[in-house]
Chains A and B, each alone.
Chain A
Amino acid sequence: MKICVLVKQVPGSDSPLKISDDQSWINEENVNFITNESDNYAVEEALQLKEKLGEGEVVAVSLGPERTQRTIREALSKGADRGIHIEESYPYASDPLQIARTFASVLEGEQFDLILSGLQSDDFGFGQVGVILGEMLGMSTSTLVMETELADGKMKVKRELEAGWFQWVNLDLPASISIQSGINTPRYPSLKGIMGAKKKELNKVSVDSNNEPRQSISKVYIPKKTKRTEMIVGTVDYQVERLVEVFKKDLRIL
């Protein structure tokens, strides 16, 4: 079984998010880039599926600038077999249709049985690329997957619905599915894995983009505050004292 896992490098949640002067994106200086959270679960699920089957190949694919290779190497060090880095420079594509077209043009010849992606990226948060790519490559799709089963060339996924409900969905292969965080416990790379990853194949490809975006970001800004918030500032003792006062006098809940 040939499994593709889409990974993305995004600013870590502790990184400062300073808006660039032209307000088109953030200023990337001092930003600590990490692998997108739900993509870690997708990588783990891909590796576990391969391990259960006892055969197959896991290919980690990412679109981004040079630094993105670190995220691909991380997947390789955990056990992915090879990587594909689709090169992109600033300004980054910010249309999921355009991004998926780029992936499709690189991946169509690969004939993957299964494509896994995280449910959404922590930066743009479109949550669309895996589904669109599935459509473009003629695959069945499912999203927010919390469990996978694979038997006799058929895929069965437990899909998360709203408000605590779930549903099993039977899918024909090939399929592209997006993975919800919490589906598994992502492994850490071993030292041996890290050393081995250096020797694994990582192909860099560039795509000549005759591929116009159908949507564009015109401006990025800090949300306008709509609520008046009382910030309780002071020593811990004062903060506790004020909280108790708020409970009793302002909210009358105790």
Chain B
Amino acid sequence: MSVFVVVEQSNSGVHRMSWEALAGGQALGRDLSLPVSVVLMGENVSALAESFQSKDVKEILKVETPLLSNYSADGFSSALAQVIETESPKYVIMGHTYMVRDFLPRVSAKLGLPFLADNIAYGVEDGSLVLSKQLFSGKLVADVSPNGDGPCIISFQSAAFQEEDVTDGSGASVRDISISLDENTIRSRPEEPFQEAAGAVDLSSAEVIVSVGRGIGKEENLPMVKDLVQAMGAELASSRPVVDAGWLESYHQVGSSGQTVAPKLYFALGISGAIQHVVGMKGSKNIIAINKDPEAPLFELADYGVVGDLLEIVPKLTETLQG
């Protein structure tokens, strides 16, 4: 019985959310008195393994084969399913990244195991694990439990745990797990990743960001927001619907599919606060939200909230600032 934290690689080594997942796995291990091990999958994961030598983990499990050199849903799901079958961990934990969304449901289906996805927290009630997941874009939360015994697959949302909380240790042993993968079973072949319309705006270093969402209503209302951006000496950002509508270029977009920002002030205009947006801006030092809907989830996160019509407030605000 143990907790497995499965590590995702990014260009720079370990994906940020894998560190968060490890912090979560370690906390869970302490609460349920279970040892924690990490699972590394790839063509050669020796360098990656070193990143975990100084961490408080029991084992570093290496799953190496050339067929895992490039990510594929078939290859990664088959590999992880074999690891779970041979090792029988109690919990398998990952960060809820785009890659996890792509392959972890297949593992769940291959093994008939529950995959409790995108959780924001966990709790232990009478010795059993309860996970909390957002519903309706964060307006509600549900407590969810796995049914039956056997391994349970869990993913945590970005920032559910903090990378700084990963605890150090020593003496982790390294072990190879052999799996068998047939090249013919891998039915997807990825090409090189690329960036589109690379950032004309570097939002990550902006002090003040004015961000506009669906509440702007129509493209013709955008100039008033741009005027405010200028009056405040800010950078302009947006939520996804504004980019989808073609009103702003995608490099303005903040959120899981856009940029992650942490300005001194994030001024959100007509943004309801769907999870996909919030993960990109919740690290902001101060958040001010204007929204017509008093129930908008972003008010939960805001330091200052204004319930009102941004089309009325924004021009007056600009005028006052230009005074």
* Chain A residues engaging chain B, CB cutoff 8 angstroms: 11, 13, 17, 19, 26, 95-97, 100, 122-128, 131-132, 134-136, 140-144, 159-172, 175, 180-182, 212-223, 225-233, 236-237, 239-241, 243-244, 246-247, 251, 253-254
Contact = CB atoms under 8 A, between A and B. Distances in A.
23 contacts: A100-B109, A123-B136, A131-B109, A135-B77, A135-B106, A135-B109, A140-B74, A164-B198, A164-B199, A164-B251, A164-B259, A166-B194, A166-B196, A180-B257, A214-B113, A220-B135, A227-B301, A231-B304, A231-B306, A240-B316, A241-B320, A243-B306, A246-B288
B299 interface: yes
Given A164-B195, A214-B112, A227-B302, 20 more contacts: A11-B136, A26-B140, A123-B136, A125-B133, A127-B117, A131-B101, A140-B73, A144-B98, A162-B256, A162-B257, A164-B198, A170-B188, A215-B115, A219-B142, A223-B134, A223-B141, A231-B299, A240-B320, A246-B288, A253-B208
A169 B190 contact: yes
B187 interface: yes
B290 to A, nearest CB: 9
Interface of B is mostly: mixed
Interface of B: 73-74, 77, 97-98, 101-103, 105-106, 108-110, 112-118, 130, 133-148, 187-196, 198-199, 207-208, 232-233, 240, 243-244, 250-251, 253, 256-260, 264-265, 272, 275, 286, 288, 297, 299-308, 312-313, 316-317, 320-321
Interface of A is mostly: mixed
Contacts, number: 240
Given A215-B116, A243-B306, A244-B320, A136 B109 contact: yes
Nearest to B232: A254
Contacts of A165: 193-195
B199 A140 contact: no
B115 A251 contact: no
B141 A218 contact: no
A76 to B, nearest CB: 25
B108 A217 contact: no
B227 to A, nearest CB: 14
A171 B188 contact: yes
Contacts of B133: 125
A112 to B, nearest CB: 15
Given A97-B115, A170-B189, A244-B317, A212 B147 contact: yes
Given A163-B260, A216-B147, A127 B138 contact: no
Given A140-B73, A162-B97, A216 B144 contact: yes
Nearest to A239: B306
Contacts of A134: 106
A219 B141 CA distance: 8
B299 A229 contact: yes
Contacts of B73: 131, 140-142
Given A131-B105, A214-B146, A218-B130, A240 B317 contact: yes
Nearest to B243: A182
A244 B243 contact: no
B187 A172 contact: yes
Contact of A19 (B130, B140, B250, B260): B140
B33 to A, nearest CB: 23
Given A126-B117, A167-B192, A223-B300, A143 B102 contact: yes
Nearest to B192: A167
A225 B109 contact: no
B137 to A, nearest CB: 7
B115 A229 contact: no
B114 A95 contact: yes
A250 to B, nearest CB: 8
A97 B114 contact: yes
B230 to A, nearest CB: 13
A164 B251 CA distance: 7
B265 A253 contact: yes
A168 B190 contact: yes
A219 to B, nearest CB: 4
A39 B232 CA distance: 39
A189 B183 CA distance: 44
Nearest to A168: B191
Contacts of B148: 214
A217 B98 CA distance: 24
Contacts of A241: 320
